[in-house]
Each structure stands twice: as structure tokens, then as C-alpha cells.
């Protein structure tokens, strides 16, 4: 019997994110490690050494130019460059006939949203997926099932915080000067997709109106010139309210908090690492006097916990699966724009004195 052809996979951008995702992707039995690209030769050579010398993987071709990389027979590509280039590079890949898994936020302007949407629509034979890994946490999928099964009733309010102190990420050059990275130049509320994404995914909802708030103080302007803290309030199409806080400029520890409050039940993701799990409050659980502790966190029981508590391998599996079985992309362009654009609108709202911004209909993005 003829062996099934494996999907030739590649990656553009071999920073910690691209390299880490690609290493997980090539463990998938349905793929062949085929080609990678980074314009930085040091990154490329370090990755080549790791693959060829440490891991004994010799099938990968190495490129510094995206144009040359795209001339190869690579079929599916992870785009993990800087936020400002995700959209243009994804378009280049699609136009060259490659499936794309694009890091988030996948756009950094309205114009990009339109252009990327057009490119995706022009290539219905290709899959485009946004790499919103947090939608693949076990508790997010458990909450989604509970919501869809009516356990929460109508959700009226949900909230989420992403706290990731910049001090924990700060790197220094040989002279001891801080190295400024993509995060330093990104208004933190643009990076809300890990929080807004899972909440909209659970609710099957989209944003209708967005208002953004940014503190007047930035105590870390030297290392994070773009505003490191901010809040966004969203009114959804179903009529719920969502609040998101992105805090890169506070003293804390890395944390994603989630809560949802509904007419028949509420869920809170427990905050302290050592108490991981969900607290559930359910109307239809007879005689309970308080919350129930549901022992579910980021990782699926018995599954691979690498890559953000197992979310990355699950997301990569879904990407490969939608290509080889020709299924709809599970996190498609519409979802990508729906979770990325509110960050830009939130900043616009703040700049216009807290004016509420209307989310455009993506169906009009042609």
C-alpha cells in the first residue's frame, strides 16, 4: 500500500515563539519538517545547529529570504515574525499557494484587515488559521461545553486579565542596556487576543462596541515606550459586557484570569497556581450551599502539557487536521479580525477621549 504523503511544513520567524511552535509541529506524524526562514542569520544558524546536530533532523532547508523560502515546495507555514509584519507575510504566503497559521494579533491596522481578508477569500483552496492558542486550553473548552449545554443560562458579563510584567521579560545587551523588543513598542491593549479570543470563542459571539482606557502614567517608559497597561470594555452582539485588562507594566506574576457570570451559573478560573481549577456556581445543582470546585485547568487530563499547558500542541493538531481533511479552519480570518481589531479600536477610543467605537462588519471587508 502506498504511504500517505506527508504535509511539508515550514516557519517564518525563528524567535522563541516560531522556533518553539515549529519544534512541536514537526512531531506531528502527518507532517514533514521541510523549510524554515529567518532574516537573522544568527537565529537561523542556531536553529539549524539544534535541528541537525542535537536532534539529528536533516530534512529542513534554511532560508534568509522569504521569497526564496516560498519558491520551495513547502505547503503549510507558521508566520511568527513581528506583529507589524504578520499580515503582509501571510498574504505573501497565500499568494504563493501555502496554507498559513498566523501568530496573533494577525493585523495591525484596518487596511491590513481588509487586505488580508481579501487574500484569504481569493484562495478558498488554502487554509488560513490564527494561532490563538489560548482557545485550546482545557478549561476554556470545558466552559464552552457548559455554556452551550445551558448550564450558565444567559451570560451577561465576562472578564479576563493578562498580566505579564515586562520586568520578567526584560533582556539586556552586553553593556547592560535594556533590549527593546516587539512588546516594548506594542500598546498592550493590542495584545488582548489571548483573553478576548477565548471569551468570544466560548460565547460564539462577536464585538459590537468597544471603549478603551489607558492610564495617564507609564512608570516604565524607558523600557516600554508604548502604553504597557490598559483596559477595554466591549459590548457584544448578543448584548453581554466584557472587560479585558492587559497589564505588562505592573508588579505581579504571569497570569491569565477568566470569569463569566450568567443567569443560571457562573464560572471563575482560580487565581492562585497552587489552587488551579474552576469555581462553578450553578442554579441547577440541588442543595449546594456554595461553589463547586471543578478540577480542570489549562492541560487536558493525560495529554501533552508542553507549550502553554498543552494548548500549543492541540492548536497545531487542529491546523494540520483542517488541511489534511479539508475542514473549515477552526480559527478563521473572521475570528482573527474579530479578536485583533478591538485592540486597535480600543486605542482609537482612548485617543478620542473615551469615545465608544463601533466594530465594523467583517462581511463588508471586501
Ligand X SMILES: NC(=O)c1ccc[n+]([C@@H]2O[C@H](COP(=O)([O-])OP(=O)(O)OC[C@H]3O[C@@H](n4cnc5c(N)ncnc54)[C@H](O)[C@@H]3O)[C@@H](O)[C@H]2O)c1
Which residues of the chain form contacts with ligand X (CB under 6 A)?
12-18, 37-40, 43, 66, 80-83, 85, 103-104, 131, 133, 181-182, 308
284 within 8 A of 264, measured Cβ to Cβ = yes
Q: Which is nearer to ligand X, 100 or 146 (CB)?
A: 100
Which uninterrupted H or E stretch holds 255? Answer: strand 255-262
What minimum distance in Å lies between the beta carbon of 307 and ligand X?
9
Fill in the DSSP letter of residue 283. T
**Chain residue at closest Cβ approach to ligand X:** 15
Can you tell me the distance from the alpha carbon of 46 to that of 121, in angstroms, rounded to the nearest whole number? 37
Q: Which is nearer to ligand X, 170 or 356 (CB)?
A: 170
Cα angle 208, 99, 196 (rounded to 5 degrees) comes to: 25
Cα angle 340, 345, 346 (rounded to 5 degrees) comes to: 95
Q: Which is nearer to ligand X, 136 or 245 (CB)?
A: 136
Q: Which is nearer to ligand X, 8 or 308 (CB)?
A: 308
Q: Which is nearer to ligand X, 103 or 347 (CB)?
A: 103
What minimum distance in Å lies between the beta carbon of 366 and ligand X?
26
Which uninterrupted H or E stretch holds 61? Answer: strand 61-63
Q: Which is nearer to ligand X, 107 or 151 (CB)?
A: 107
What minimum distance in Å lies between the beta carbon of 202 and ligand X?
18
What minimum distance in Å lies between the beta carbon of 285 and ligand X?
34
What minimum distance in Å lies between the beta carbon of 126 and ligand X?
20
307 within 8 A of 133, measured Cβ to Cβ = yes
Rg (CA), the chain: 21
All three cell numbers of 202? 466560548
Closest CA to 331 of 196, 142, 208: 196
Number of neighbouring beta carbons within 10 Å of residue 239: 11
What minimum distance in Å lies between the beta carbon of 133 and ligand X?
5
Cα angle 71, 75, 81 (rounded to 5 degrees) comes to: 75
Upper half-sphere CA count for residue 304 (Cβ side, 13 Å):
16
What minimum distance in Å lies between the beta carbon of 44 and ligand X?
8
Place of cell 467583517: 362
Q: Which is nearer to ligand X, 18 or 212 (CB)?
A: 18
Q: Which is nearer to ligand X, 83 or 151 (CB)?
A: 83
Q: What is the dihedral of CA 6, 11, 17, 19, to 10 degrees?
A: 70
Phi, psi of 129 (to 5 degrees): -130, 140
- For helices 311-324 and 16-25, the axis angle rounded to 10 degrees is 60
Closest CA to 161 of 299, 254, 281, 240: 254
Q: Which is nearer to ligand X, 179 or 285 (CB)?
A: 179
What minimum distance in Å lies between the beta carbon of 326 and ligand X?
25
What minimum distance in Å lies between the beta carbon of 135 and ligand X?
11
Amino acid at each position: 500500500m502506498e504511504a500517505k504523503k506527508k504535509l511539508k511544513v515550514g516557519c517564518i520567524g525563528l524567535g522563541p515563539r516560531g522556533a518553539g511552535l515549529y519544534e512541536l509541529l514537526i512531531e506531528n506524524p502527518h507532517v514533514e519538517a521541510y523549510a524554515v526562514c529567518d532574516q537573522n542569520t544568527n537565529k537561523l544558524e542556531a536553529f539549524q545547529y539544534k535541528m541537525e546536530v542535537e536532534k539529528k533532523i536533516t530534512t529542513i532547508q534554511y532560508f534568509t529570504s522569504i521569497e526564496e523560502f516560498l519558491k520551495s515546495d513547502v505547503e503549510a507555514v507558521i508566520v511568527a515574525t513581528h506583529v507589524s509584519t504578520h499580515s503582509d507575510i501571510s498574504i505573501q504566503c497565500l499568494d504563493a499557494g501555502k496554507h498559513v497559521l498566523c501568530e496573533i494579533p494577525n493585523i495591525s491596522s484596518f487596511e491590513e484587515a481588509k487586505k488580508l481578508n481579501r487574500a484569504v477569500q481569493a484562495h478558498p483552496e488554502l487554509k488560513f488559521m490564527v494561532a490563538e492558542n489560548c482557545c485550546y486550553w482545557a478549561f476554556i473548552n470545558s466552559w464552552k461545553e457548559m455554556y452551550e449545554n445551558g448550564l450558565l443560562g444567559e451570560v451577561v458579563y465576562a472578564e479576563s486579565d493578562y498580566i505579564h510584567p515586562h520586568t520578567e521579560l526584560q533582556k539586556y545587551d552586553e553593556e547592560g542596556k535594556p533590549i527593546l523588543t516587539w512588546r516594548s513598542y506594542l500598546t498592550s491593549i493590542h495584545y488582548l487576543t489571548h483573553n478576548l479570543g477565548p471569551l468570544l470563542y466560548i460565547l460564539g459571539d462577536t464585538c459590537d462596541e468597544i471603549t478603551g482606557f489607558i492610564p495617564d502614567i507609564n512608570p516604565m517608559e524607558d523600557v516600554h515606550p508604548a502604553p504597557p497597561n490598559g483596559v477595554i470594555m466591549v459590548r457584544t452582539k448578543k448584548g453581554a459586557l466584557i472587560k479585558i485588562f492587559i497589564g505588562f507594566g505592573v508588579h505581579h506574576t504571569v497570569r491569565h484570569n477568566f470569569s463569566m457570570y450568567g443567569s443560571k451559573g457562573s464560572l471563575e478560573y482560580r487565581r492562585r497556581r497552587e489552587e488551579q481549577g474552576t469555581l462553578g456556581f450553578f442554579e441547577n445543582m440541588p442543595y449546594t450551599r456554595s461553589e463547586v470546585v471543578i478540577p480542570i485547568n489549562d492541560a487536558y487530563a493525560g495529554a501533552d502539557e508542553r507549550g502553554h499547558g498543552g494548548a500549543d500542541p492541540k492548536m497545531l493538531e487542529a491546523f494540520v487536521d483542517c488541511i489534511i481533511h479539508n475542514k473549515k479552519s477552526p480559527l478563521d480570518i473572521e475570528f482573527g479580525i474579530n479578536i485583533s481589531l478591538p485592540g486597535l479600536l480600543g486605542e482609537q477610543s482612548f485617543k478620542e477621549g473615551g469615545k465608544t467605537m463601533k466594530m465594523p462588519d467583517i462581511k463588508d471587508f471586501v
